Amino acid sequence: MRRLLCLTICAPLLSACGVDEVPLPDEVGDATGDSADGTSSADGASSADDASSADDASSADDANDTDSASDTSTTDGDTSTSTESGGNEEFNDHCQAQAEWDPEWAQFEDEVLVLVNEYRAAGATCGDESYDPAGPMVAEAQLRCAARLHSKDMYERDFFDHTNPDGLSPWDRVDLTDYTGSAVGENIAWGYPDPASVMAGWMDSPGHCANIMNPNANELGVGYWGDSNHWTQVMGAQ
């Protein structure tokens, strides 16, 4: 059975959801939803897979729910195909909508992965929890699909949450991509203009930070919708 945690922080928005295996700080409370404006990270996004999500405009919803302050959006551009290393690039019909992506947005996504692995290599303190250095995560195409489409959807349907207006949780959205591993966390954010600022927002939020530092996660999908600075991270484990 999974636990859902939600956090809310003021500023640009952040939200996070995470799974049971992720040690979560006391400040993150049991919840099924996450913030509506800003960033949010979720370990199971707003699903019952033990995620923490935060619902807070001006804050970042990170992995276990942290909300970054400036609310970036990932753009599902449509210019060039992004080919991040790792993952199967054979997309199913659901993921064809993001196969062609703005190259600048894809570059931002790649930069987030680099920063994630720098933080993991150094170890971190997330609220009251200390995390030892963890191994790197690799880019995974199906998780990236889920992340991109969620960022795009938040922009197009004007919402900020781990659960979309159709009631689909992060876990549900990952299932639609045919990902063969297990989704273990999701972070979302809104209003942050670049990778460094959104990562700083997530790392300052205990829940989002916990998702990023989760030692069980070894794959990552990042989705950035540039028209609105919406960001989504989806963590997975194979």
CATH number, residue 175:
3.40.33.10
**Is residue 93 a part of any domain in this protein?**
no
The answer to whether residue 229 is domain-embedded is yes
* Residue 12 pLDDT: 59
Give yes or no for a contact between 220 and 143, defined as CB atoms under 8 angstroms apart: yes
pLDDT at position 98:
87
Identify the residue with better confidence: 50 or 170: 170
Q: Is the pLDDT of residue 136 over 90?
A: yes
Would you say residue 211 lies in a domain? yes
92: pLDDT confidence band, cut at 50, 70 and 90? confident
Q: Is the pLDDT of residue 235 over 60?
A: yes
pLDDT band, residue 3 (cuts 50/70/90)? very low
Going 238 to 170 to 4 to 56, the CA torsion angle's sign is positive
Give the pLDDT of residue 17: 66
Domain presence at residue 158? yes
Average pLDDT over the chain, rounded to an integer: 74
Is the pTM for the entire model greater than 0.85?
A: no
How far apart are the C-alpha atoms of 222 and 233, rounded to whole Å?
5
- Domain assignment of residue 118, given as a range: 103-133+147-237
Q: How confident is the model at residue 7 (pLDDT cuts 50, 70, 90)?
A: very low
Residue 15 confidence (pLDDT): 64
Q: Is 113 part of a structural domain of the chain?
A: yes
Q: What pLDDT is stored for residue 177 in this prediction?
A: 96
Whether residue 206 is contained in a domain is answered as yes
Residue 142 lies in a domain: no
Would residue 129 count as lying in a domain? yes
Average pLDDT over residues 84-101: 72
Residue 204 in tokens: 């300052």
- State the pLDDT confidence band at 100, using cuts at 50, 70 and 90: confident
Asked whether residue 77 carries a pLDDT value surpassing 60, the answer given is no
Predicted local confidence at residue 68, as pLDDT: 35
Q: How many domains does the chain have?
A: 1
Query: What mean pLDDT is predicted for residues 188-197?
Result: 98
Residue 38's DSSP bridge partners are 59
Beta-carbon contacts of 175 under 8 Å, excluding residues fewer than 6 positions away, are none
Distance separating alpha carbons of residues 189 and 73, to the nearest angstrom: 7
Flag whether pLDDT at 145 surpasses 90: yes
Please name the residues in contact with 188: beta carbons below 8 A apart, sequence gap of 6 or more: 13, 14, 15, 16, 34, 35, 39, 40, 41, 42, 45, 53, 61, 150, 151, 154, 160, 161, 162, 230, 231, 232, 233
**Average pLDDT, stretch 178-207?**
97
